[in-house]
């Protein structure tokens, strides 16, 4: 454990940020799973609806600095490709 006051504060701040990032990543993964499930079931309408929600969540995560912008683009591209594949 740290002895210096600023180091103790850093530890607390890092824990808070890690919890926030974990929650955002979890939300994104859930949205992605919904899209992939709809694609697996060949349900085009549900897949398109889930894709819209997923794109919004992924972009939010990118703007908050949880994911790099290229990672966001890659995730969105893969999902869109999968949805367009069943349409």
68 Rama sector, left if φ>0, alpha if ψ -120 to 50, beta otherwise: beta
> How far apart (Å, rounded) are the C-alpha atoms in residues 71 and 7?
31
Closest-CA residue to 31 (of 56, 68, 62):
56
> Looking at the predicted structure, is the pLDDT value of residue 20 above 80?
yes
The string of pLDDT tens digits covering residues 34-51 is: 999 999 999 999 999 999
Could you report the per-residue pLDDT of 39-83, keeping only the tens digit for each?
A: 999 999 999 999 999 999 999 999 999 999 999 999 999 999 999
Amino acid 1: pLDDT: 77
């Amino acid at each position: 454990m740290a002895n210096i006051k600023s180091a103790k504060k850093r530890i607390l701040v890092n824990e808070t940020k890690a919890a926030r990032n974990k929650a955002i990543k979890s939300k994104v993964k859930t949205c992605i799973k919904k899209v992939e499930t709809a694609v697996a079931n060949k349900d085009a309408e549900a897949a398109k609806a889930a894709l819209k929600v997923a794109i919004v969540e992924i972009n939010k995560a990118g703007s908050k600095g949880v994911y790099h912008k290229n990672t966001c683009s890659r995730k969105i591209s893969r999902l869109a490709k999968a949805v367009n594949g069943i349409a």
